Amino acid sequence: MRFFRDNAHQQHRRSPVRPTGARRGLTLIEVLIASVILSVAGLAALELLARSDSSSLFARRQALASVEVERILSDAATLVKSQRSAAHSEELDAANAAEALGGCVATVREAREVMSIKSADGGSVRVPVVRLTAEIRDPSGNPLVALERVVPTAAAEEAP
């Protein structure tokens, strides 16, 4: 039994002894450095959240603009088929488009041309068409989306 007591006594003696006057805890400079590091990390996280929110808004605006430009091209094609001009420009607002597109500008341009298409028998066919181009720009003037559609305007003719 004495062996166990001596061993326990020796282990106690080997444990580090704090010198008198040693203090526990952190110094003021350590606390300040830690708070600066945590502040920088917090600001970086907030910046990342702000960027992802901005990207999400841009993606939503682009998706809504794609749907809106399809609708505008469909309406323009209907006007062309009824022999009327489809070229126009309009500012989008909540009354005629999604709220996220408020302040954006939609523009439709048309160009009349004749397309020559090769037929299966080796000849070619001429088809009068109107090339419609619709574009939506954000309030800053940057393009969000642009689409083009070709609309035939008359019956095809054999090319000479």
Domain layout of the chain by residue ranges = 28-158
Q: Can you tell me the mean pLDDT for 118-126?
A: 84
% of the chain at pLDDT higher than 70: 81
Q: How confident is the model at residue 110 (pLDDT cuts 50, 70, 90)?
A: very high
Spatial CA neighbour of 58 closest among 24, 13, 104, 22: 104
User: Please, is 107 exposed, middle or buried when counting C-beta atoms within 10 Å of its C-beta (0-12, 13-18, 19+)?
Assistant: middle
Provide the whole-model pTM. 0.60
Q: What is the pLDDT of residue 61?
A: 84
Q: For the segment 31-74, what is each residue's pLDDT rounded down to a tens digit?
A: 899 999 999 999 999 988 888 877 888 888 888 888 999 999 99
Residue pair 143/113 in contact (Cβ under 8 Å)? The answer is no
Spatial CA neighbour of 72 closest among 29, 133, 1, 125: 133
Cα separation, 72 vs 60, in Å, equals 18
